């Protein structure tokens, strides 16, 4: 929680330099709080905001687009491949892989609906009809030969094991053609459902095949770009030796319900909490709409933080926001003390909801609240997302650490519209604990079990959707 003190001199100096640079952005980041409405009514400000995002290599959040937060359901499609898979089944491992690599839940479910009908997620299964297909998407002919050659070069035995599944997922992602060929198109779809009558490559239905499947749902878009099976549209069209496209969609619906909380749009939250793009969009929404969130009757802590500014210690406002938004019982969201005491206070007051994180972070869950101490006022913030690779996404207000963010981060977003917000991604729990130089890690209040996390995610989704 930033306070003016001699210990903060270096940070203040950096902040002055940052403030000077921000003045050039046509007032978009002026010290006067610029609301979304003010930006949207001024085209010059809107263009300056977009220019800033491009220059900072940040995915553009358009405050004038009411769907922009929800459309950030997926992360960066250039996220490196994980070194291992996580999950109790091949279906769960595949879901976690696709989400970690940046697909939206709708896109991931569409891909998996196809894999289910092709192979039931077996890396070694041979095509039942004798067509020569192999693996999770049944690579056939020359494509199969190239798959087997690539696996041999990598020392991978294409049997039913995690190493083979990971290899085939990586090969599907960008190994087959040396680049991404389907991800962006599938990621733009907002539903898994589609019109199978215009999506079949079966000769009997080719006259009805649409030139493009764009807008026909993630399941059919992936099918057209990658599979192009001989499936017929519906069960009534079925004959011996062919599959049914409707069954691919039904499988996709099942995976979306099982792993994606049934949300048939991009405004959904996975088991790991917010994706990077969602966290950035939510962070900016929080400070852009400060008056709505923090001012007036019924706002967070009934207006306590409404007129607070830098130096008032309102890092606690960010923690109070998330506790209030995600609390199973809003009336029990405790009053927030100095930043250093927030986590311990939450655990003490809501012991049936929160518990202390283990020293190694092994029980860490999204929607946690942490505290660090500088022997003065301390600082507090939130953990909004966890990657399957062990990475951690934090969101905190009244904080900024100069160009590039805090030490040890692998992603950073810092934004000042009169109220400061920072979103950081750390590679692991240890890097996170060391991420605020001059402060000592105190504790993290984390949800006690997955059912609480799920309930919190549903409440967070309500905030994102509004």
Strands (E) in 279-366, as ranges, are: 354-356
| Entry pTM | 0.53
Q: Which residue has the higher pLDDT, 310 or 70?
A: 310
Q: Measuring CA to CA, how many Å separate 82 from each of 86, 102, 169, 209, 327?
A: 10, 12, 10, 37, 32
Q: Which residue has the higher pLDDT, 127 or 150?
A: 150
Ranges of each domain in the chain: 6-71+271-465, 90-259
Least confident of 44-48, 51-55, 461-465: 51-55
Mark 108-140 as b/e (b = at least 16 C-beta within 10 Å). Answer: bbbbbbbbbbbbebbbbbebeeeeebbbbbbbe
Q: With bands split at pLDDT 50, 70 and 90, how would you rate the model's confidence at 312?
A: low
Conformation bin of residue 262: beta by default, left when phi > 0, alpha when psi is -120 to 50: left
List 440's β-bridge partners, or say none. 373
> Average pLDDT, stretch 36-51?
51
Token pair listed for 248: 């691919």
Which pLDDT value is given to residue 272?
81
In contact, 117 and 124? CB cutoff 8 Å:
no
In contact, 105 and 73? CB cutoff 8 Å:
yes
Proportion of the chain above pLDDT 90, given as a percent: 45
Q: Which residue has the higher pLDDT, 167 or 277?
A: 167
In contact, 210 and 97? CB cutoff 8 Å:
no
Taking every pair of C-alpha atoms in the chain, what is the biggest distance, in angstroms? 80
Which pLDDT value is given to residue 305?
84
Choose the most confident range, by mean pLDDT, from 69-83, 121-135, 263-277: 121-135
Closest by CA to 396, choosing from 406, 386, 408, is 406
| Domain 90-259 grouped into CATH 1.10.530.10 | yes
Q: Is the dihedral of CA 340, 342, 343, 348 positive or negative?
A: positive
Q: State the chain's mean pLDDT as an integer.
A: 81
Other residues' Cβ atoms within 10 Å of the Cβ of residue 260: 23
Long-range contacts formed by 84-87: CB under 8 A, 24+ apart: 84/162, 84/166, 85/162, 85/165, 85/166, 85/169, 86/388
Closest by CA to 372, choosing from 292, 313, 435, is 435
Q: Is the pLDDT of residue 267 over 80?
A: no
Long-range contacts formed by 304-309: CB under 8 A, 24+ apart: 309/418, 309/419
- 3 state SS of 383: strand
In contact, 116 and 125? CB cutoff 8 Å:
no
Q: Is the pLDDT of residue 67 over 70?
A: no
Q: With bands split at pLDDT 50, 70 and 90, how would you rate the model's confidence at 260?
A: confident
Q: Measuring CA to CA, how many Å separate 158 from each of 85, 154, 226, 439?
A: 16, 11, 20, 49
Tell me phi and psi for residue 447, to 5 degrees. Answer: -55, 140
Which pLDDT value is given to residue 285?
85
Token pair listed for 95: 């879901």
Q: With bands split at pLDDT 50, 70 and 90, how would you rate the model's confidence at 405?
A: confident
Q: With bands split at pLDDT 50, 70 and 90, how would you rate the model's confidence at 81?
A: confident
């Amino acid at each position: 929680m930033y306070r003016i003190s001699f210990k903060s001199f270096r940070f203040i100096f950096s902040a002055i330099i940052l403030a000077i640079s921000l003045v050039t952005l046509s007032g978009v980041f002026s010290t006067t709080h610029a609301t979304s409405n003010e930006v949207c009514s001024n085209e010059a400000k809107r263009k300056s905001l977009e220019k800033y995002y491009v220059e900072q290599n940040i995915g553009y959040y358009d405050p004038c687009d009411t769907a922009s937060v929800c459309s950030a359901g997926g992360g960066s499609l250039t996220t490196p491949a994980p070194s291992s898979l996580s999950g109790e089944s091949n279906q769960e491992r595949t879901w976690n892989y696709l989400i970690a690599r940046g697909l939206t839940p709708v896109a991931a479910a569409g891909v998996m609906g196809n894999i289910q009908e092709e192979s039931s997620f077996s890396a070694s299964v041979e095509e039942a009809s004798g067509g020569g297909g192999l693996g999770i998407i049944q690579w056939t002919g020359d494509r199969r030969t190239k798959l087997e050659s690539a696996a041999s070069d990598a020392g991978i035995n294409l049997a039913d094991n995690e190493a083979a599944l990971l290899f085939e997922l990586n090969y599907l992602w960008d190994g087959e053609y040396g680049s991404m060929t389907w991800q962006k198109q599938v990621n733009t779809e907002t539903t898994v459902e589609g019109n199978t009558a215009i999506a079949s490559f079966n000769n009997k239905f080719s006259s009805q095949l649409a030139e493009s499947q764009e807008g026909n749902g993630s399941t059919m878009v992936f099918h057209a770009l990658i599979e192009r099976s001989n499936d017929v549209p519906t069960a009534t069209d079925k004959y011996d030796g062919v599959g049914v496209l409707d069954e691919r969609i039904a499988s996709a619906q099942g995976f979306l319900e099982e792993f994606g909380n049934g949300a048939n749009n991009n405004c959904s939250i996975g088991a790991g909490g917010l994706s990077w793009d969602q966290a950035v969009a939510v962070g900016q929404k929080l400070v852009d709409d400060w008056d709505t969130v923090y001012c007036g009757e019924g706002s967070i802590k009934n207006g306590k933080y409404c007129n607070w500014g830098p130096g008032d210690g309102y890092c606690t406002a960010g923690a109070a926001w998330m506790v209030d938004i995600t609390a199973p019982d809003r009336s029990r969201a405790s009053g927030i003390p100095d930043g250093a005491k927030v986590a311990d206070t939450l655990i003490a007051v809501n012991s049936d909801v929160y518990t202390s994180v283990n020293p190694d972070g092994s029980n860490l869950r999204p929607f946690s609240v942490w505290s660090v101490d500088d022997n003065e006022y301390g600082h507090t913030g939130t953990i909004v997302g966890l990657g399957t690779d062990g990475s951690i996404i934090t969101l905190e207000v009244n904080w900024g650490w100069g160009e590039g963010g805090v030490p040890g981060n692998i992603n950073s977003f810092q934004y000042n519209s009169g109220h400061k917000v920072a979103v950081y991604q750390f590679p692991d729990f240890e890097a996170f604990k060391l991420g605020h130089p001059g402060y000592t890690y105190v504790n993290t209040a984390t949800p006690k079990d997955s059912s609480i996390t799920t309930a919190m995610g549903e409440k967070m989704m309500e905030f994102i959707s509004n």
